[in-house]
Amino acid sequence: MFEHIEAMDEAVAEVARVLVDGGRFACFLNHPLIQTPGSGWVDDHIMEPPEQYWRIGPYLVESMESEEVAKDVFLPFVHRPVSRYVNALADHGLVLRRMHEPAPPEEFLKRAAEYRQAATIPRLLVLVVEREPR
């Protein structure tokens, strides 16, 4: 969700403002490690035996692109490293309580066999934070 918001710090400040002390917020993101510009699945047939792996782009570089989600409908996509999210949340009194990197569900893998080899690479990141007392 925050990867589609350019003004992330302002959005985090608003989350912190409306949460009661001790309130929790779950932030769901496309995992920043694999969503870097230039990243993607590689089927390397030059290696013997052939290999499959996920190429990582410039992870530490913040960048913004526009992605077309439907015909003539564009959303901003802002890549930020995980530390940028965690630190922005902490700067606004939102303390990290849990972090989840779920594997793709088995039902999804049954329908999309081409992802089976990538099942050990998390596509999502979930940060659960709690509002510190003010």
Domain 2-35+62-131 sits in CATH at: 3.40.50.150
pLDDT in tens, 15-32: 999 999 999 999 999 999
pLDDT in tens, 97-117: 999 999 888 888 888 777 777
Put residue 55 in one of left, alpha, beta given phi > 0 → left and psi -120 to 50 → alpha: beta
Count CB neighbours of 24 within 10 A: 13
Residues of the chain with pLDDT under 50: none
pTM summary value:
0.85
Token readout for 4 is 């589609």
Token readout for 64 is 């913004």
